[in-house]
Amino acid sequence: MGDFTLELNDDQQSVRDWIHGFAADVMRPAAAEWDEREETPWPIIQEAAKIGLYSLDFYAQQFFDPTGLGIPMTMEELFWGDAGIALSIVGTGLAAVGVLANGTEEQIGTWVPQMYGDADDVKVAAFCSSEPDAGSDVGAMRTRAVYDEAKDEWVLNGTKTWATNGGIANVHVVVAVVDPDLGTRGHASFIVPPGTPGLSQGQKFKKHGIRASHTAEVVLEDCRIPGDCLLGGKDKLDERLARARERAKAPGGERVKNAAMATFEASRPAVGAMAVGTARAAYEYALEYARSREQFGRPIIDNQGVAFQLADMRTQIDAARLLVWRASWMATAGRPFTSAEGSMSKLFASETAKKVTAQAIQILGGNGYTREYPVERMHRDSAIYTIFEGTSEIQRLVIARTLSGLPIR
């Protein structure tokens, strides 16, 4: 286990510079176009795949970085480039984390490579948890998975929503209810292989921000999948459900984490890093603008009203990064989030991104309000960080419940 440090080593700096170059040279010049088109930027994803940036091997290397900083460093640089395109590049990772967190070694080896494809034929994957009536309240989930023992198949029915890459994915990871009586403890995750009959794309959402990322409903109608597509396997599920039923008889017993919550818990610091990247991009643009823009015969950065804003912006960004790095290091070191450090990092970083991008618009004045300048897009993009993978309100609830020792329901 690597010692905690606030300085990237030579290898990490080299990787960071490499990602930054791709973000600056490939992503940024294309950002406005794909934001307007509101389409998945397949050519950019393919360019990332050609250089190894969109690949299982690259993300595995960053995931297993002994310092824990590989993933947050990667996310910050990509989202510095452009949030919409970056989410199209990294969105597959949430589905991959879902398999890594819940699957067997065989399932990981079989399905995760198929989520990415290769440089000549890139693929994407989707993690499907939220539903029209079950967003923050995962206990209200209605999508059902029923086991057909005679055919050794699971039959899935329901509608998922807000799924990144939903409907266009090669592989879908779907969280469904297997035992309604157990609430969130009766959930399980399933792989839906490519081309499975019964899975279709529902509504594609026209979004306020991150418009280069595809977000849609996923409809499951008598969707039959092989028995071995249950992540973790049926024996493990049966054992977990049996323990949950016993604990359900004894209030105050040990809680059992459901599949969706396990995935989100692992990914929250990474979302915080995304927010840091967007905030940093807006801050840097506003800083350069303030240095070059003159009013009353001098650069506007000479005015305290502007200079103090920039000072606050930088301070908040650095503080957010430190929270993200702490949580990422703790996760890699196997240290429990006894004070909900993962949720802290996402909460503070996402709120910082919204605030900093709004301040950037203010510094640019009327120019900042137009699409001729990127801070307007960055501000629209930043709104999602306080919403997806747990709203800011849910993060505060998780933190408060963790500090109080009360169960998180």
Model confidence over 20-45: pLDDT tens digits?
999 999 999 999 999 999 999 999 99
* Mean of pLDDT values over 176-201: 94
* Mean of pLDDT values over 398-408: 84
User: Over the chain, what HEC string results?
Assistant: CCCCCCCCCHHHHHHHHHHHHHHHHHHHHHHHHHHHHCCCCHHHHHHHHHCCCCCHHHHHHHHCCCCCCHHHHHHHHHHHHCHHHHHHHHCHHHHHHHHHHHCCHHHHHHHHHHHHEECCEECCEEEECCECCECCCHHHCCCEEEEECCCCEEEEEEEEEEEECCCCCCEEEEEEECCHHHHHHHEEEEEECCCCCCEEEEEECCCCCCCCCCEEEEEEEEEEEEHHHECCCHHHHHHHHHHHHHHHCCCCCCCCCCHHHHHHHHHHHHHHHHHHHHHHHHHHHHHHHHHHCEECCEEHHHCHHHHHHHHHHHHHHHHHHHHHHHHHHHHHHCCCCCCCHHHHHHHHHHHHHHHHHHHHHHHHHHHHHCCCCCHHHHHHHHHHHHCCCCCHHHHHHHHHHHHHCCCCC
CATH of domain 125-248: 2.40.110.10
Q: Which pLDDT score is estimated for 254?
A: 44
Over 80: is that where the pLDDT of 249 sits?
A: no
Q: Which pLDDT score is estimated for 251?
A: 52
Question: Which sequence spans correspond to the domains of the chain?
Answer: 10-122, 125-248, 259-404
- Identify residue 90 by its one-letter amino acid code: V
pLDDT, tens digit (0-9, with 9 covering 90-100), for 93-144: 989 988 988 999 999 999 999 999 999 999 999 999 999 886 666 668 899 9
Alpha carbon 382 to chain centroid distance? Answer: 13
Over 70: is that where the pLDDT of 256 sits?
A: no
User: Over 223-243, what HEC string results?
Assistant: EEEEHHHECCCHHHHHHHHHH
Structural contact between residues 130 and 162, judged by C-beta atoms closer than 8 angstroms: yes
Q: What is the fold of 259-404? A: Butyryl-CoA Dehydrogenase, subunit A; domain 3 (1.20.140)
Q: Which pLDDT score is estimated for 263?
A: 53
Over 60: is that where the pLDDT of 391 sits?
A: yes
* Mean of pLDDT values over 215-221: 97
Structural contact between residues 267 and 75, judged by C-beta atoms closer than 8 angstroms: no
Q: What is the spatial distance between Cα 365 and Cα 344, in angstroms, rounded to a whole number?
A: 32
Q: Which pLDDT score is estimated for 199?
A: 97
Q: Which pLDDT score is estimated for 308?
A: 97
- Multiple choice CATH, 10-122, 1.10.540.10, 3.30.1130.10, 3.40.50.800, 1.10.357.10: 1.10.540.10
* Inter-CA distances, 149 with 176, 186, 332, Å: 18, 18, 39
- Identify residue 405 by its one-letter amino acid code: G
- Rounded to the nearest 5 degrees, what angle is found at the Cα of 7, between the Cα atoms of 3 and 8? 90
pLDDT, tens digit (0-9, with 9 covering 90-100), for 226-248: 999 999 999 999 899 988 888 77
Q: Which pLDDT score is estimated for 5?
A: 65
Quick check: is 389 catalytic?
yes
Over 90: is that where the pLDDT of 1 sits?
A: no
Q: Which pLDDT score is estimated for 253?
A: 46
Q: Which pLDDT score is estimated for 91?
A: 94
Q: How confident is the model at residue 183 (pLDDT cuts 50, 70, 90)?
A: confident
Provide the mean pLDDT of the chain: 91
Region of poorest pLDDT, from 27-41, 262-276, 373-387: 262-276
* Mean of pLDDT values over 71-84: 97
Active-site residue identified among 77, 106, 389, 393: 389
